[in-house]
Amino acid sequence: MFKIRSLVTALALASSISVAYAWEALPTEAPAPADNATTAAKVELGQLLYHDPRLSSTGTVSCASCHNTSLGGEDNRPNSVGVNGQTGGRSAPTVWNAAFNKVQFWDGRAASLEEQAAGPVTNPIEMGMASWDDVVARLKTIDGYVTTFEQVFGKDSISKENATKAIAAYERTLITPNSPYDRYVAGDKSALTAQQVRGLEKVAELGCTGCHSGPAFNGPGVFQKFPVIANGTLEASHHFSKDKGLAEVSKKVEDEHLWKVPTLRNIALTAPYLHNGSAKTLDETVKLMAKLQLGKDLSKDETADIVAFLNGLTGEFPKQKFPTLPGTPGKSFTN
């Protein structure tokens, strides 16, 4: 199911990366698959579905509940809250710029946004629907959705495939370009402060870009082991290794503690950090990653410079108009 390149440890990567790293600006559009062209009508339908808690068993949890597009694209909780107050073991990743991920979910088990959109709806902890057949049946009772699906996909077109295509089309519009960093690499050398430039140079010097590479700072699509370097004290306080990452899905010993490399875009807005939300601040996270992935103890000034640079990755958020969901006048949506 998973094709994973041979891992090169971050320590080895650090020796091969120089300050001359090729910095790239974020594209303003995300490519769509051939079978799911992005159209305005499809995006509008996807936005409705993304914000509709009726896709959950209790009618209380939507995609936006955990991936809030009014903020940093997640929920600023260590572990997201699903139906009936249940919590999972992982921190919600941001939906902003997720279109540039090679794989989705922390463990990379979904190869596309369409595949990812299907998962939480029937996860018993997250949105709790028994099956997508039940979701489709519920949507068919809502006249507004019957009409809108017909306009986008044709008559009698409410289905799991079309619902997830619409949600994915909406998510491909959630791009945050023109950060201070983007303006800097485009030629505006005043866009970053002197401290942020020092942080940029330190990130490359240390080898952080060995994993967090490319315009979205999320790597070339391979998985990375975390933590690379064992540390009993930090393990005791943060429990990094309790969750086995990719191996939870693949059931392969060699996949233990492999994770999708998360984007650094807008990272200043997405605390707490790491897959289990165990790092409360960005300063703490920078120091942890240097220690556990690179074997480096950063000074106070080095940490401050890197954090300043990371703050320069906060982009411009496209304005989100909260949608008016199709109603069910005179009846409960569960009827």
Give me the active site residues, please.
126
Q: Is the dihedral of CA 147, 153, 154, 157 positive or negative?
A: negative
Q: Is the dihedral of CA 83, 86, 90, 92 positive or negative?
A: positive
| Nearest residue to 91 via CA among 245, 285, 276, 281 | 276
| Nearest residue to 88 via CA among 248, 258, 259 | 248
Cα-Cα end-to-end distance for the chain: 39
Strand partners, 224: 259
Q: Is the dihedral of CA 77, 52, 131, 168 positive or negative?
A: negative
d(CA 132, CA 79): 25
Q: Is the dihedral of CA 32, 35, 36, 40 positive or negative?
A: positive
| Nearest residue to 157 via CA among 145, 141, 169 | 145
| Nearest residue to 299 via CA among 282, 281, 312, 286 | 286
Q: Is the dihedral of CA 65, 158, 175, 275 positive or negative?
A: positive
Q: Are 213 and 205 in contact (CB under 8 A)?
A: no
| Nearest residue to 159 via CA among 193, 98, 117, 128 | 117
